[in-house]
Amino acid sequence: MVTSTRGTARRRAGDGDDDPGRRAAESAGARTRTVSAPGASPWAEAVARWGGRVLQVYAVWLLLALLFRPVARHAERPVAEVLSITNVPSYPSLFTAVVVGLVASGFLRRRRVALWFVILVWQLPSALVMLLALVLDRVDPTAGVLDDVHWTAYAGGVVGLVLTVVLIAARRAFPARIARGAWWAAGLVLLIGLALAAAIVTALLWVVPSSLDTPAERIGWAASVSVGLSPHEEPFAIDGSAPGWLALVGGLVAGAALLLAVVVFLRTGPRDAARRPDEELALRRLLLEHPSDDSLEYFATRDDRDAIFSADGRAAVSYRVVSGVVLAAGDPLGDPASWPDAIDRTLAFARGHGWAPGVLSASEKGARAYRDAGLAVITMGDEAIVETREFDLAAPSMRPVRHAVARPQREGYSVRLRRQREIPADELAALARAADEWRHGEDERGFSMALERLGSPRDPRVLVVTAHDRDGEPRGLLTFVPWGRKGVSLDYMRRSPDAAPGVTELMISTLASEGAGMAIDRVSLNFAMFRGLIEQGESVAANPWQRFLRRLVLAASRWWQLDQLYRSNQKYEPRWRTRYLCYAASAQLTSVTVAAGQAEGFVPLWPTPRSARAGAGSSADAALGTAVREQEDALLALDVPTQRLTDQERARRAKLDVLAAAGMPAYPVGVPRTHRLADVDELLLGHGVSVSGRVVRLRDLGGVCFAVLREENHERQVLLTADGTADVALWRRAVDLADQVSVTGTVVRSRTGELSVHADSWVMASKSLKAPPDKFRGLADPETRMRLRHVDLALDTKASVTLRGRSAAVHALRTSLVERGFIEVETPILQRVHGGANARPFRTHINAYDMDLYLRIAPELFLKQLAIGGIERVFELGRNFRNEGADATHNPEFTSLEAYQAFGDYTTMRHLTRELVVAAAVAVHGDAVSRRPDGSEVRLDGEWPVVTVHDAVSRAVGAEVTPDTPEHELHALCARFGIEVGEDETHGAVVNEMYDRLVEGQTVEPTFYTDFPVETSPLTRVHRRDPRLAERWDLVGFGAELGTAYSELIDPIDQRERFTQQSLLAAAGDPEAMEIDEGFLSALEFAMPPTGGLGLGVDRIYMTIIGASIRETLAFPFVKPQRRS
């Protein structure tokens, strides 16, 4: 059994007692009625299914016989006689065709009235008449009762008896019952219509020549043809005849009367009471708790739609009954896991009333759910969705929209975007009146895409877009219903007859451009039916059939504006989302399609009395609006995540209350501090001081409490005694390790002779809510040390010293360059062209210009432009970014130093580099040394080796390698050392690969490797003695490249050729190849003086000086994100 309230299946909508959905189900009371679910056996279902199909065949036969009667009249009677053995009317007439077709439709819809009609009107009478005839013949054989009885009568009697038994046994397959009063209303209409048909034919027989002599014969003949019976057979048995067209006239009038009776019959179906407030709240709760990707979900709250809930109340199907079709719209609401149950209940509800189920405008996800429930699915059209973050009115493709909005902009139009709750009541009422006045001539969205409730207090989140002329008068109106949290779906679209052309485009483009600022990510516009047919027919590869279908759509657009709707949406470059039509059986597709057309306004609909709803402005509507706002505020409020605390963290937070009770702020704006801990020494013995620091050790010996405070890398003991003035009790209750405290007291020595501060008073400087790591092991895990950098720096002296040493090294580099006449500059980090080095860049996007940008991999090209501009000595210390991973010697973002000196070369820069590195080492260690991880030292103040790349490779492979070495010999050497290189690699590329694999990683002391192959150095000038080489060196030390320098390439023609080769590599897929920078090339053509340039990796320079990894030298190295539980 399916429990139905107001024609909707309702059960609990949640587990809470205050759930409106649950209250809606439990308080239904007397308004709850029961609808029997199908309980028929498979054979009964087969009887109903095949019975309906047989009746459809008979209906088709009757229509075809009417059509072909003029040319095949001689064949009509034999076929009709054979078909008559089923007792279904087989004599062709329009009336009988309509009757049989309607009964077939009732059979397929499982209407019980159709079953009993077949039994009581067609089958049982035939069986009873035949049985009666047999009995009478048995009683008096001489009476001749069976004389002249045609064999079809015997067969019809047997068939009638058998079918009567079979159909009665299969009655459970026909659960759909008729509403009370439907029979009387429809029967009265039918009788009047049949009487009218007989009267018209009778009147015509008085003036049309015929062989009917008596009035009784004329009336009988007219009555027989009006009800679709043969006038020559029983019970009429009239010998005379009349023109056949008179029978057609009678059949037409009677058929029209029958159709009208069916319409009245269907319209006298169940009438539902108004939807109760708690039921609407239950529906809205589903929208808020389970927002879906369906932009039409909010239209489920239309006043002419009801809903069928799943058993658990977590899903519902919104529907409306239209012309005998339970027409759902959009996807089911709520939890997708409960969709199947809600769909099954909807289908059972439709079947229980003999209505055809149909679904209008389902999305792909919803269509799949309906298909899984047994419905068939066909494409209906497409919905236009504009993504506000992708919308760009300045794009070239938006020229038609820009042209349209130019007119109202010139006339001073402005657009306002507001939620309905933000609009004053009088203005909202005026907009509602204007919308009604502007309604004529506008395209109206139908049942599935319109709310038709502007101004109702139940819709506070509806977005209202208004266009105003220069005088502030409204000239255009758009309203959008909510779509989840960050979307809106079009409802009203109105414009004043006096509005400037383009006002609608102005409102939509303004919303699309400014919507992101209102947290609106997507906008659903209109629905374009048959968009696929239009686009396919316009394609250059369209076949004749596709072009024909497109012409049909264009022809239909004269009435329904199908093509116009598609064009009006396409200009916004939306993302099209396909919508689907779902139906139960092919025989019901026409009914569903007609009902959908009626609901959407394409097909005229018989006026239907709707359920009584509270109108906008009524007290009931206002009360419901208040409840809706309260529910939305509660469900749309962002949940504040609850922090999970350990026992220690909870204990520390509890001590905040202890401090507050004592009147001591846990986080004061300031505390007493006269001296740093480092300044507290023997000279201050006996003097009063105020010091502050982090508590790193605590001891409580009963009469005295000891603590060690840490500030920077200095520690000092403080003590509190019971006989002193400091609040020892509060100290014991409130102070933990890692707290920041301020202690005021006298500098003394403890009993053990340790210099200490004897506290007279203390205050909390900052309460730590996190416990420090184990005091013996500290942060042992390197990864944890990087993640908890603040803890590492606060408690580990080495980490703090390393950070301070880096600052000294960077300062030394900067100072050394400034002392030599270099000026420091800053160049852009966001760059349009990725250049300056061969490396994989990070990409980003600037929304203001809709342009992809790169985080710079090197500042080189901008610094060279400054050199061209006359800045002879220039440098930059800054961050670069390369998308190449992180390891012991690499970090995705790193600090580099690039410097350029006019009239210098790579030799000049080599000497400068050594001086800079030595200055940094002296700043860190006080001496020109580099420390290794094992504690050993390497002197840096001597001359550093200078080795050509080819000589270094020769030493590594034990064979001479020069620019003249044949490539096959280089490949052989690579194979011997297990170095994989491509067969098409150039000589220079192979040498460079051998250098990377065999030389760089094995170098310990700082060494300059010079004269690299020219093809691996696109920004370096050709060697002055060998054009196959470039004037470039790499500084390598302790297995890592520390820097590089060039004699800069200043020939603009040569530079353009090299950039072109790089761009070809980039186009071929090399992610590290540089792009052509026309701005730099143009500057280079302005003449750049001979220049030497260098680039140093500051992070690597410092790590080699102190013997640490690159991660240890950075304040915050890149750490792989943790997986969140």
**DSSP state string for 348-367:** HHHHHHTPEEEEEEE-HHHH
Higher pLDDT among residues 1039 and 602, named by residue:
1039
Amino acid at 530: F
Residue 846 included in any domain: yes
Confidence grade of residue 39 (pLDDT, cut at 50, 70, 90): low
176 pLDDT exceeds 70? no
Look at residue 546 in the predicted model and tell me its pLDDT. Answer: 79
pLDDT tens-digit readout, 903-953: 999 999 999 999 999 999 999 999 999 988 888 888 998 899 999 999 999
- Do 257 and 139 fall into the same domain? yes
Confidence grade of residue 1115 (pLDDT, cut at 50, 70, 90): confident
Look at residue 586 in the predicted model and tell me its pLDDT. Answer: 77
Look at residue 29 in the predicted model and tell me its pLDDT. Answer: 31
Look at residue 24 in the predicted model and tell me its pLDDT. Answer: 40
Of 525, 543, 559, the last residue of a domain is 525
- Do 376 and 511 fall into the same domain? no
Which of 899, 908, 911, 912 shows the shortest CA–CA distance to 871? 899
Contact 411, 471 (CB under 8 A): no
pLDDT tens-digit readout, 377-399: 998 888 899 999 888 888 888 89
Total of domains in the chain: 7
Contacts by residues 748-753 (CB-CB < 8 Å, ≥ 24 positions apart)? 748/685, 748/686, 749/685, 750/717, 750/719
Confidence grade of residue 668 (pLDDT, cut at 50, 70, 90): very high
Look at residue 1016 in the predicted model and tell me its pLDDT. Answer: 83
In this structure, what DSSP letter does residue 178 have? P
Which domain does 991 fall in, by range? 946-1001
Residue 500 included in any domain: yes
Contact 692, 709 (CB under 8 A): yes
Residue 817 included in any domain: yes
Q: Which residues contact 375 (CB under 8 A, 6 or more apart)?
A: 357, 359, 582, 583, 584
- Do 103 and 214 fall into the same domain? yes
Contact 572, 385 (CB under 8 A): no
pLDDT tens-digit readout, 411-421: 999 999 999 99
- Do 565 and 584 fall into the same domain? no
Look at residue 25 in the predicted model and tell me its pLDDT. Answer: 36
Distance of CA 736 to the CA centre of its chain: 48
**Six token digits for residue 948:** 């050509």
- Helix H segments across 820-905? 860-868
Residue 156 included in any domain: yes
Q: Which residues contact 1112 (CB under 8 A, 6 or more apart)?
A: 799, 802, 1103
d(CA 1015, CA 1058): 8
Look at residue 601 in the predicted model and tell me its pLDDT. Answer: 67
241 pLDDT exceeds 60? yes
Residue 724 included in any domain: yes
Contacts by residues 922-929 (CB-CB < 8 Å, ≥ 24 positions apart)? 922/812, 923/808, 923/809, 923/811, 923/812, 924/805, 924/808, 924/809, 924/1102, 924/1105, 924/1106, 925/1105
Residue 620 included in any domain: no
**DSSP state string for 225-242:** HHTT--TTSTTT------
Which of 386, 353, 387, 383 shows the shortest CA–CA distance to 367? 383
18 pLDDT exceeds 90? no
d(CA 258, CA 226): 11
Confidence grade of residue 110 (pLDDT, cut at 50, 70, 90): confident
Lowest mean per-residue pLDDT among 977-991, 1077-1091, 1109-1123: 1109-1123
38 pLDDT exceeds 60? no
- Do 399 and 374 fall into the same domain? no
In this structure, what DSSP letter does residue 530 have? T
Tell me the CA distances in angstroms from 858 to 574, 898, 976, one per residue in order: 39, 8, 36
- Do 190 and 259 fall into the same domain? yes
Coil, strand or helix: which one is 943?
A: coil
Beta bridge partners of 874: 823, 900
740 pLDDT exceeds 90? yes
**Six token digits for residue 722:** 């019971």
Contact 742, 672 (CB under 8 A): yes
pLDDT tens-digit readout, 615-666: 555 677 788 888 888 888 888 877 777 788 889 999 999 999 999 999 999 9
% the chain with pLDDT above 70? 86
pLDDT tens-digit readout, 545-559: 778 877 887 787 777
Helix H, strand E, coil C: the string for 21-86 is: HHHHHHCCHHHEEEECCCCCCHHHHHHHHHHHHHHHHHHHHHHHHHHHHHHHHHHHHHHHHHHHHH
- Do 728 and 759 fall into the same domain? yes
pLDDT tens-digit readout, 1009-1025: 999 998 888 778 999 99
Confidence grade of residue 73 (pLDDT, cut at 50, 70, 90): low
Strand ranges for 704-799 from DSSP E: 704-711, 714-721, 740-749, 755-766
Contact 357, 374 (CB under 8 A): no
Q: What is the domain-level CATH number for residue 661?
A: 2.40.50.140
Length of the chain: 1125
Coil, strand or helix: which one is 993?
A: helix
Average pLDDT, the chain: 83
Contact 934, 927 (CB under 8 A): no
Higher pLDDT among residues 211 and 982, named by residue:
982
CA angle 91, 92, 96 (to 5 degrees): 85
187 pLDDT exceeds 90? no
- Do 959 and 1024 fall into the same domain? no
Best-predicted range by mean pLDDT among 165-169, 747-751, 1078-1082? 747-751
**Six token digits for residue 129:** 């008449």
d(CA 1041, CA 1038): 9
The pLDDT of 740-759, averaged and rounded, is 94
**Six token digits for residue 1072:** 């590290």
Contact 292, 258 (CB under 8 A): no
pLDDT tens-digit readout, 468-498: 999 999 999 999 999 988 899 998 888 899 8
Angle between helices 906-925 and 797-819 (to 10 degrees): 140
Amino acid at 560: W
d(CA 383, CA 360): 13
Coil, strand or helix: which one is 667?
A: coil
Residue 617 included in any domain: no
**Cis-peptide into 607, omega within 30 deg:** no
Confidence grade of residue 436 (pLDDT, cut at 50, 70, 90): confident
Burial class (CB in 10 A: 0-12, 13-18, 19+), 638: exposed
The pLDDT of 245-257, averaged and rounded, is 75
Burial class (CB in 10 A: 0-12, 13-18, 19+), 29: exposed
* Max Cα-Cα span within the chain: 152
- Do 255 and 294 fall into the same domain? no
Task: List the helix and strand counts (H, then E) for the chain.
Answer: 34, 33
132 pLDDT exceeds 70? yes
Amino acid at 419: R
Of 735, 756, 772, the last residue of a domain is 772
- Do 660 and 519 fall into the same domain? no
1053 pLDDT exceeds 50? yes
- Do 245 and 317 fall into the same domain? no
Residue 357 included in any domain: yes
Contact 504, 441 (CB under 8 A): no
**Six token digits for residue 821:** 């006449």
% the chain with pLDDT above 90? 39
d(CA 669, CA 667): 7
Phi/psi of residue 961, nearest 5 degrees:
-125, 125
Buried/exposed code over 258-290 (b: 16+ C-beta within 10 A; e: otherwise): bbebbebbbbbeeeeeebbbbbbbbbbbbbeeb
Of 237, 267, 297, the last residue of a domain is 267
In this structure, what DSSP letter does residue 486 have? T
612 pLDDT exceeds 70? no
Lowest mean per-residue pLDDT among 100-109, 158-167, 607-616, 672-681: 607-616
The pLDDT of 339-357, averaged and rounded, is 88
The pLDDT of 841-846, averaged and rounded, is 86
Coil, strand or helix: which one is 662?
A: coil
Q: What is the domain-level CATH number for residue 871?
A: 3.30.930.10
Beta bridge partners of 402: none
Helix H, strand E, coil C: the string for 1012-1071 is: EEHHHCCCECECCCCCCEEEEEEEEECCEEEEEEEEECCCHHHHHHHHHHHHHHHHCCCC
pLDDT tens-digit readout, 866-917: 999 999 999 999 999 988 777 666 778 889 999 999 999 999 999 999 999 9
Look at residue 600 in the predicted model and tell me its pLDDT. Answer: 73
d(CA 220, CA 496): 63
Lowest mean per-residue pLDDT among 26-30, 304-308, 312-316, 360-364: 26-30
Which of 92, 122, 104, 2 shows the shortest CA–CA distance to 52? 104
- Helix H segments across 381-455? 399-410, 425-437
Confirm or deny that 1031 is annotated as ligand binding. Answer: no
Confirm or deny that 1041 is annotated as ligand binding. Answer: yes
831 pLDDT exceeds 50? yes
Which of 119, 117, 258 shows the shortest CA–CA distance to 187? 258
Angle between helices 949-957 and 987-998 (to 10 degrees): 60
- Do 95 and 227 fall into the same domain? yes
d(CA 1046, CA 1034): 9
Look at residue 954 in the predicted model and tell me its pLDDT. Answer: 95
The pLDDT of 578-587, averaged and rounded, is 86
